[in-house]
């Protein structure tokens, strides 16, 4: 049975400058804050193992996209990206339990609900009109701007997120766990 570190070391994505896996390539197994040191642009990729979150700005900023194992021959048109990938984060393999507290207002204010599973609409489930801060206790999550896991997305690692105002003034209406089956 492989340990978690063995699994993480095996995460691998190969980025290519051009569509259809053409042009120069760069292989990555961890976080990369600025792809431009390796590639002048990036228009396709192949996730060989693990999961990654890619960003259209450097330093893990801008729009985010979740990539599981597979081939992305032209993800710009597929995901409606208006720019190429500038940075990426490796999502560590995780097998434990999942727990997150979501709050109606910034700085953990207003109504609070605890989640241990996916929630496709906080409006329907909790009658909350928005989620403006959260505390991820366990697991890795994806949060979405619209119900049913649609719209802009944000990758959340364990930690406290006091305000979503500084990240494009987003509010989140659905969230799901990054499960082992995604790898």
Residues 107 and 38 in one domain: no
Q: Which domain holds residue 22?
A: 4-91
The C-alpha atoms of residue 43 and residue 65 are separated, in whole angstroms, by 13
Q: How confident is the model at residue 164 (pLDDT cuts 50, 70, 90)?
A: confident
Q: Which among 50, 5, 7 is positioned nearest to 27, based on CA atoms?
A: 50
Evaluate if pTM is beyond 0.95: no
Say what the pLDDT of residue 85 is. 87
Residues 79 and 111 in one domain: no
The residue out of 36, 61, 91 marking a domain boundary is: 91
Indicate if the pLDDT at residue 29 is higher than 90.
yes
The residue out of 67, 91, 115 marking a domain boundary is: 91
Residues 8 and 77 in one domain: yes
Say what the pLDDT of residue 81 is. 63
Domain CATH number, residue 119: 2.60.20.10
Residues 16 and 80 in one domain: yes
The residue out of 26, 58, 91 marking a domain boundary is: 91
């Amino acid at each position: 049975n492989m340990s978690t570190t063995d699994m993480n070391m095996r995460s691998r994505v190969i980025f290519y400058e051009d569509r259809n896996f053409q042009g120069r390539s760069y292989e990555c197994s961890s976080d990369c804050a600025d792809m431009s040191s390796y590639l002048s642009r990036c228009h396709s990729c192949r996730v060989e193992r693990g999961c990654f979150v890619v960003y259209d700005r450097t330093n893990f900023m801008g729009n985010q996209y979740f990539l599981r194992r597979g081939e992305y021959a032209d993800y710009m048109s597929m995901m409606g990206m208006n720019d190429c990938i500038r940075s990426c984060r490796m999502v560590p393999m995780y097998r434990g339990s999942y727990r997150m507290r979501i709050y109606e207002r910034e700085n953990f204010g207003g109504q609070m609900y605890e989640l241990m599973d996916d929630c496709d609409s906080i409006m329907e489930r909790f009658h909350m009109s928005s989620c403006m801060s959260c505390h991820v206790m366990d697991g890795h999550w994806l949060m979405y701007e619209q119900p049913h896991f649609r719209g802009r997305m944000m990758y959340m690692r364990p930690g406290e997120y006091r305000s979503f105002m500084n990240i494009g003034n987003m509010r989140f209406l659905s969230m799901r766990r990054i499960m082992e089956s995604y790898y």
